[in-house]
Amino acid sequence: MLNCDTLIRNARVLDGSGSDAQLLDVALHNGRIAAIDVPLKCRADHVIEADGLCLAPGFIDAHTHDDTSVIETPTMLPKISQGVTTVIVGNCGISASPVRLKADPPDPMNLLGKRNNFRYPTFAHYLAELDAARPAVNVAALIGHTSLRNNHMDRLDRTATDGEIRSMHAELTSALAAGALGLSSGLAYSSANAASTDEVLALADALIGANAVYVTHLRTETDAILDAMDEAFRIGRSSRSPVVISHLKCAGIANWGRSGEVLHALEQARTNQHIGCDCYPYAAGSSTLDLKQVDPRVGIGITWSTAYPEVAGRTLADIAAEWDMNQLDAAKRLQPAGAIYHSIDEDDMRRILAHPATMIGSDGLPWDKHPHPRLWGAFPRVLGRYCRDEKLFTLPQAIHKMTTMPARRFGLAERGAIAENHWADLVLFNPDTILDTATFADPIRAAQGIECVWVNGTLSYTAQGLTGNRAGRFLPGSATQWLQ
Ligand code: ZN
Ligand code: CU
């Protein structure tokens, strides 16, 4: 008879492919899925009676800023408590490595921590620290364009010279060789906005033949979003790489209702190149406090402020009233600071979330004092609110968006599916009760309905909390696979 470490009996298995659940037994051994059958005869050290709960591949958070938190807070409770077993770090042009700072981190690199959190002058340093920290979740990494600019340019408000591009290119090439998944950009931010398309095109040349992806926070998500998408598609074609548009949305009140148009442009482009996107399930974004986004018609919450730390959690309108000034002046006084912007239309968000090209990415900001609730709630919210309660998509489709789809797109081999010999990253959850409990008012709360989470075959989280075992590892990129 087969020996195994763990036998999960009688689970409704959603394998990640998008097909319907099947009642099965799953055996784990040496970190991998050893056998799947019904009934499965095996001598197991641990037996879990699933009693018809759902078993899915561990969720892959396609868009995170967990670069430094996987090392500083390796228990990764905000993520593992949602059933997330892998985080993609380095999004929006800002990776924690390779980074060599001369001063405080430029905006928005400060979303990843303070100056002393940037301790990885090379990608190899980052990998060594990750290995030593042993986070509870697996980590795969993009290299940020803004981070490279920081390393090789004396100022960020201009485009790079040919020489600077050559140095950035060399640094990106060596990180890709060491297992980075691709290049990310954050062209909307002032630290990268001055970069010409040619700068990014020349840098993205490093992706050719590297099985890598180009991931972008578009140059703009407002009026000119279609032009910004064209720029991204062009960079993908020239670097012969798939493109992932980060947190696709129509931002700002003037843009509400344009999701149909935006998705149509995405679909057109998908007929001749590989393009996908990620989305978080909320009608509000969050980043650093950007004076250009201060609009009295938009509700803005303050997530942190270096100058006035005590105001975290209050609205900008409230603070401005107390200070007897307009919101723009109050926002200037709070700098540097972080904010939540209720500047997305719920219908647009749903349409993008439900689109077959869309993966789930929390975009959670782990260092924020009063974070956007997506940090703790994104995945259970998709499954509870948008799948079960509002029926935006079926449960197998929802699971596919958070497992097999990102694993294939980012080239995470033997992950993201329940299949024999795949790594045993798994989540057991109750489909009737799963739900986010984190709210804008009370954002630091673990979701409900997550029963067990295994990372590389190790039981790491249960409904009772952390088990104390941490089994995550660095996942190098391999060949990406795209199913349109
Ligand atoms: Zn972003
Ligand atoms: Cu982001």
The rounded Å distance from CA 99 to ligand 1 centre is: 18
Which residue shows structure tokens 């770090």? 89
Nearest ligand, measured from the Cα of 112: 2
The rounded Å distance from CA 388 to ligand 2 centre is: 27
Cα–Cα distances in Å, from 292 out to 164, 188, 363?
Answer: 29, 11, 21
The rounded Å distance from CA 246 to ligand 1 centre is: 6
Of 198, 271, 280, 279, give the one whose Cα is nearest residue 239: 198
The rounded Å distance from CA 49 to ligand 1 centre is: 41
The rounded Å distance from CA 113 to ligand 2 centre is: 14
CA distance 220 to 197: 13
Q: What is the per-residue pLDDT for 68?
A: 98
Position 266, amino acid: L
In the chain, the domains with their CATH numbers are 2-57+417-466 (2.30.40.10), 59-283+344-409 (3.20.20.140), 285-342 (3.30.1490.130)
Tokens encoding 83: 């059933």
The rounded Å distance from CA 52 to ligand 2 centre is: 36
From the CB of residue 420, how many other CB atoms can be counted at a distance below 10 Å? 12
Which residue shows structure tokens 């409990």? 437
Question: Rounded to an integer, what is the distance from CA 245 to the centroid of its chain?
Answer: 12
CA distance 211 to 208: 7
DSSP 255: G
Specify the long-range contacts of residues 379-382, CB closer than 8 Å, at least 24 apart. Answer: 379/59, 379/61, 379/82, 379/83, 379/84, 379/447, 380/82, 380/83, 380/434, 380/435, 380/436, 380/447, 380/448, 380/449, 380/450, 381/281, 381/282, 381/435, 381/436, 381/447, 382/281, 382/353
CA distance 305 to 372: 14
The rounded Å distance from CA 63 to ligand 2 centre is: 6
The rounded Å distance from CA 88 to ligand 1 centre is: 13
Which residue shows structure tokens 């089994």? 471
The rounded Å distance from CA 246 to ligand 2 centre is: 7
Please say whether the beta carbons of 378 and 387 come within 8 A: no
Nearest ligand, measured from the Cα of 63: 2
Taking phi over 0 as left and psi of -120 to 50 as alpha, with beta for the rest, 465 belongs to left
The rounded Å distance from CA 267 to ligand 1 centre is: 22
Of 473, 301, 361, give the one whose Cα is nearest residue 65: 361
The rounded Å distance from CA 421 to ligand 2 centre is: 33
Question: How does pLDDT run along the chain (484 residues), one tens digit per residue?
Answer: 789 999 999 999 999 999 999 999 999 999 999 999 999 999 999 999 999 999 999 999 999 999 999 999 999 999 999 999 999 999 999 999 999 999 999 999 999 999 999 999 999 999 999 999 999 999 999 999 999 999 999 999 999 999 999 999 999 999 999 999 999 999 999 999 999 999 999 999 999 999 999 999 999 999 999 999 999 999 999 999 999 999 999 999 999 999 999 999 999 999 999 999 999 999 999 999 999 999 999 999 999 999 999 999 999 999 999 999 999 999 999 999 999 999 999 999 999 999 999 999 999 999 999 999 999 999 999 999 999 999 999 999 999 999 999 999 999 999 999 999 999 999 999 999 999 999 999 999 999 999 999 999 999 999 999 999 999 999 999 988 886 5
The rounded Å distance from CA 98 to ligand 1 centre is: 19
Q: What is the per-residue pLDDT for 480?
A: 86
CA distance 431 to 67: 30
Nearest ligand, measured from the Cα of 142: 2
Residues 6+ apart with CB under 8 A from 169: 202, 203, 205, 206
Tokens encoding 328: 């723009």
Tokens encoding 107: 């905006």
The rounded Å distance from CA 247 to ligand 1 centre is: 7
CA distance 296 to 325: 12
The rounded Å distance from CA 290 to ligand 1 centre is: 13
The rounded Å distance from CA 24 to ligand 1 centre is: 39
The rounded Å distance from CA 11 to ligand 1 centre is: 37
3-state SS track over 55-98: EEECEEECCCCCCCHHHHCCCCHHHHCCCEEEEEECCCCCCCCC
Of 412, 408, 409, 395, give the one whose Cα is nearest residue 456: 412
CA distance 391 to 397: 11
The rounded Å distance from CA 48 to ligand 1 centre is: 39
Q: What is the per-residue pLDDT for 481?
A: 87
The rounded Å distance from CA 273 to ligand 1 centre is: 22
Q: What is the per-residue pLDDT for 484?
A: 56
The rounded Å distance from CA 108 to ligand 2 centre is: 10
The rounded Å distance from CA 106 to ligand 1 centre is: 15
